[in-house]
Amino acid sequence: MDYNETIKFLYNQLPVYQNTGNKALNLGLEKIKRLLIKLDDPQKSLKIVHIAGTNGKGSSAHSIAAICQYNNLKTGLYTSPHLFDFRERIRINGKKVYKNFVTEFVNKNLKLIKQISPSFFEITFAISLCYFKKKKVDLAIIEVGLGGRLDSTNIVNPFISLITNIGFDHKEILGSTLYEIAEEKAGIIKEKSIVIIGKRQNKIENLFIEKSFKSNSKIYFADDEIHISNRKNKKIDIFLTFDKKKYSISTSISSNYYSKNIPGIILTSFFILKTFKIKSKEPFEGIKHIKETGLRGRWEILSKKPKIICDICHNIDAFNEITNELNNMNFKNLYFIIGGVESKDWKNIIKKLPKNQRIYQTKKYFLTKLKIK
């Protein structure tokens, strides 16, 4: 198979969540364990940062990668889903995985893939680990696909686990309460590691503390360690105090909701740089180069006249943040074009959006106007 045939095989022969929803999920680690054992367990040779959370895990992963790249660490980055190109999921220092690597991997392991029958996500994750191992990255940053405890990526043994926040998403899989969802996310905490919680949430903080204690791991609540004193919206400058020092950092993401991820991003990056014994006067300067990691779709301004903003928010909490952003803007007319998998709670999501605006929901490439009272 050539590259195009390989991609068609991955999409058409393996279960894909974006196409079939929950039916595509292999909840559990049995298949990924079997697959990786046959591939000589590439994850065991990698130094890994594992990132989970309801929202912000993708932008946090890209931000940490940007900081690491800026500090001359060869950084592998595995995220999902992709927007345009399958290879967006697997990058090293911002560069997408080579087409020939994907093709050769699938052709070489075709018999194994058919024998084990992994999901699209599992085989993609396996490709990333083998690629990072072959290219000898200094660090691999791995974003959880769904949940944590039973997610395929939880086969790894990270030295840092970052949990960005806990909100309501995939309730039919992860649980109907915040505590149940937090239990699933806490599943990424491993023995003798560093655990960073991006946002302190009173109802569930003890769960993370107890899990870390049982795992002999050190836990840090990022918003206790990192203090943001001021933020200038126009310049997107953030001033913070950390480790008895003051820093001023600039980002290219102009949303307020992104700034909520900053404490977790900075604290995780601090421990990475400390582990690699990297010293710098401006250790977090790389965050303003986040676009070099390939990040797209986070409050991305596609056009100024007319103003067109793209955001990949996908659950109630995220849509609430988007609405808050819009309420701080001035505009005459507002149009929403929304698309996503059918399993999302669209009825309640729509209720979160600003009233008396024109809302369009996409389905099978058609636009259907929704009447919002």
Domain ranges of the chain: 3-293, 300-370
pLDDT at res. 306: 86
Read off the pTM.
Answer: 0.87
Q: Residue 258 in contact with residue 62, Cβ under 8 Å? A: no
Q: Residue 162 in contact with residue 60, Cβ under 8 Å? A: yes
Strands 160-163 and 48-52: parallel
pLDDT at res. 81: 87
**Residue 218 tokens, joined:** 């050190």
- Kindly tell me the sign of the dihedral angle through the C-alpha atoms of 338, 341, 346, 349: negative
Segments in the chain forming alpha helices (H): 3-13, 17-20, 30-38, 57-70, 99-108, 110-116, 120-134, 171-174, 178-185, 205-214, 222-225, 256-259, 262-275, 316-327, 346-352
| pLDDT tens-digit series, residues 348-360 | 777 777 765 666 6
Three-class DSSP category at 362? strand
Rounded distance between C-alpha atoms, residue 296 and residue 118, angstroms: 28
Rounded distance between C-alpha atoms, residue 63 and residue 226, angstroms: 16
Measured CA angle at 368 (ends 362, 369), to 5 deg: 120
Residue 331 has pLDDT above 70, yes or no: yes
Average pLDDT over residues 26-36: 88
| pLDDT tens-digit series, residues 130-155 | 999 999 999 999 999 887 888 999 99
In angstroms, the Cα distances linking 258 to 79, 147, 233, 252, 261 are 17, 21, 12, 10, 6
Q: What is the CATH superfamily name and number for domain 3-293? A: Mur-like, catalytic domain (3.40.1190.10)
pLDDT at res. 24: 47
DSSP 326-337: HHTS--S--EEE
Least confident range of 235-244, 262-271, 283-292? 235-244
Q: Confidence class of residue 362 from pLDDT cuts 50, 70 and 90?
A: low
Residue 21 has pLDDT above 70, yes or no: no
pLDDT at res. 217: 97
In angstroms, the Cα distances linking 373 to 68, 155, 254, 358 are 48, 47, 30, 11
DSSP 342: T
Residue 230 has pLDDT above 90, yes or no: no
Q: Confidence class of residue 372 from pLDDT cuts 50, 70 and 90?
A: very low
pLDDT at res. 164: 92
Average pLDDT over residues 305-323: 83
Check residues 364 and 254 and name the one with the higher pLDDT: 254
Dihedrals φ, ψ of 160, to 5°? -135, 135
Q: Residue 140 in contact with residue 64, Cβ under 8 Å? A: no
Average pLDDT over residues 2-6: 95
Q: Confidence class of residue 366 from pLDDT cuts 50, 70 and 90?
A: very low
pLDDT at res. 235: 43
The percentage of residues in the chain with a pLDDT greater than 90, rounded to a whole number, is: 49
Average pLDDT over residues 288-305: 87
Q: Confidence class of residue 75 from pLDDT cuts 50, 70 and 90?
A: very high
Residue 88 has pLDDT above 80, yes or no: yes
Least confident range of 15-29, 221-235, 263-277? 15-29
Rounded distance between C-alpha atoms, residue 227 and residue 90, angstroms: 33
Average pLDDT over residues 105-110: 97
Residue in the structure block whose two tokens are 């018999």:
111
Check residues 293 and 373 and name the one with the higher pLDDT: 293
C-alpha dihedral (269, 74, 47, 25), degrees to nearest 10: 90
